């Protein structure tokens, strides 16, 4: 009898310790609304305001979900302002998830700024913009950027390990994504980033993505980048800044400026795979006297160039670079990239070198007969679809203008 009782106590003690180490069994759902209040309960019936919810003013625990309802959230307007602060901390097994309520169009006007102690967070399915107009004319350079005379906006990341930024629509900010070294082992995935920056009298300023990295790998994958005034990808730093350990893959880049990874300090751990660039040059390496290693594979660059600068160890394989006006190898090339976080979403790139008015696109098992689908213009993601039909098992007949187009293909109801 005594032995049995001792066994029960030991087992119970082990179970208690395991439960203490594990995340909570049930995550809480919290709600944010345009008319929410700090003093509310954060429930569906009594939502919070966005500022105190994201800024850590409430007890949001690892594993919790923060649902942002439809509407436009205007951050306090401030020249150079980076918008709402995010200071929430999840943990490795239980990140905090922040995103639009399913089916809702939630717009952050003025930016999101991720600051310590923020870590292990996932942000997805939000629109981030600045509604204040750009300067009407090109302006002279100013180190403070004060003469831009509008909020900075965008997604600004200065904290966190294991964070994910998923399927965001980021446009018309002074810079799209500003992603710095204190952020580690994190990813930017499936985002649409366009028309960021402003015109200077010296050059264009503000980039789609400006990033630096040292420890851990930063992943930039399956994004669409277009338009804007500065670079598309600007993984760059001076001789004192790190540009190391990047995996850049599956991005669609067009009608923009140089796609750059490199700076003044030697780089290592650079991997660039299966990106599709139209009218945009790719440059790996910049002014550093030498770099360590890079792997550049299976990229398609049309009406552009590939320049790998001063690397000691280079793997350059499977890349197709087609200079402007050079003979083309195929009449049509189609690339469909399924979204790993949203099974109903894919990005589509069409190289239409014969400039046919329509192109037949086989999307394989992404659309089964009877499935509704919408084909969206990335630059008008929330607007009227280019097509809205029911799949019949046959290739899609997609209208084209010119020799290149990018789309977002969404399966399911509008």
Rounded Cα–Cα distance for residues 286 and 335 (Å): 29
Q: Give the pLDDT score at 3.
A: 39
Rounded Cα–Cα distance for residues 153 and 139 (Å): 19
Q: Could you identify the residue written with the tokens 């893959």?
A: 249
Contacts 24+ apart (CB under 8 A), 44-52: 50/84, 51/75, 51/84, 51/85
Tens of pLDDT along 343-389?
999 999 999 988 999 999 999 999 999 999 999 999 999 999 999 99
Residue 68, SS3 per DSSP = strand
> Which helix H or strand E contains 20, and what residues bound it?
helix 2-21
Q: Where do the CATH 2.60.40 domains begin and end in the chain?
A: 332-411
Q: Which of 370, 406, 152 is nearest to 277 (CA)?
A: 406
Rounded Cα–Cα distance for residues 389 and 395 (Å): 12
Q: Where do the CATH 2.160.20.10 domains begin and end in the chain?
A: 29-322
Give the single-character DSSP code of 192. Answer: E
The CA distances from residue 210 to 10, 125, 231, 302, in Å, are 54, 21, 8, 23
Q: What does each of the 414 residues of the chain score in pLDDT, given as a tens digit?
A: 333 333 333 333 343 333 333 445 589 999 999 999 999 999 999 999 999 999 999 999 999 999 999 999 999 989 999 999 999 999 999 999 999 999 999 999 999 999 999 999 999 999 999 999 999 999 999 999 999 999 999 999 999 999 999 999 999 999 999 999 999 999 999 999 999 999 999 999 999 999 999 999 999 999 999 999 999 999 999 999 999 999 999 999 999 999 999 999 999 999 999 999 999 999 999 999 999 999 999 999 999 999 999 999 999 999 999 988 787 677 889 999 999 999 999 999 999 988 999 999 999 999 999 999 999 999 999 999 999 999 999 999 999 999 999 999 999 975
Architecture of domain 332-411: Sandwich (2.60)
Task: Report the topology of domain 29-322.
Answer: Pectate Lyase C-like (2.160.20)
């Amino acid at each position: 009898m005594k032995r049995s009782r001792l066994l029960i106590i030991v087992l119970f003690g082990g179970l208690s310790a395991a439960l203490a180490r594990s995340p909570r069994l049930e995550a809480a759902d919290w709600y944010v609304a345009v008319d929410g209040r700090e003093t509310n309960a954060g429930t569906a019936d009594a939502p919070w305001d966005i500022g105190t919810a994201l800024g850590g003013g409430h007890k949001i625990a690892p594993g919790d979900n923060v649902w942002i309802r439809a509407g436009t959230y205007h951050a306090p307007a401030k020249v150079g302002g980076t918008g709402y602060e995010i200071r929430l901390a999840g943990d490795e097994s239980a990140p905090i998830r922040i995103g639009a309520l399913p089916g809702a169009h939630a717009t952050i006007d003025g930016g999101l700024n991720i600051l310590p102690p923020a870590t292990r967070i996932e942000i997805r399915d939000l629109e981030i913009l600045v509604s204040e107009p750009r300067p009407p004319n090109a302006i002279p350079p100013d180190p403070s950027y004060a003469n831009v005379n509008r909020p900075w906006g965008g997604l600004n990341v200065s904290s966190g390990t294991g964070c994910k930024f998923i399927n965001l629509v980021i446009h018309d900010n002074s810079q799209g994504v500003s992603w710095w070294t204190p952020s580690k082992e994190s990813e930017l995935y499936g985002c649409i980033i366009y028309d960021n920056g402003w015109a200077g009298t010296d050059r264009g300023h503000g980039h789609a993505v400006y990033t630096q990295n040292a420890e851990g790998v930063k992943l930039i994958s399956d994004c669409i980048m277009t338009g804007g005034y500065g670079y598309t990808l600007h993984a760059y730093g001076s001789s004192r800044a790190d540009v190391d350990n990047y995996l850049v893959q599956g991005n669609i880049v067009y009608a923009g400026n140089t796609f750059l990874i490199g700076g003044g300090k030697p780089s290592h751990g650079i991997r660039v795979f299966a990106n599709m660039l139209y009218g945009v040059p790719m440059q790996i390496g910049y002014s550093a006297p030498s770099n360590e290693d890079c792997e550049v594979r299976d990229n398609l660059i049309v009406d552009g160039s590939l320049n790998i600068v001063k690397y000691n160890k280079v793997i350059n394989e499977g890349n197709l670079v087609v200079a402007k006006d050079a003979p083309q190898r195929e009449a049509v090339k189609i690339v469909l990239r399924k979204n790993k976080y949203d099974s109903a979403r894919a990005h589509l790139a069409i190289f239409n070198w014969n400039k046919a008015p329509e192109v037949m696109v086989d999307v394989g098992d992404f659309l089964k007969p009877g499935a509704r689908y919408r084909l969206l213009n990335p630059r008008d993601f929330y607007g009227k679809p280019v097509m809205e039909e029911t799949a019949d098992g046959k290739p899609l007949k997609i209208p084209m203008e010119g020799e290149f187009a990018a789309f977002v293909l969404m399966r399911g109801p509008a």
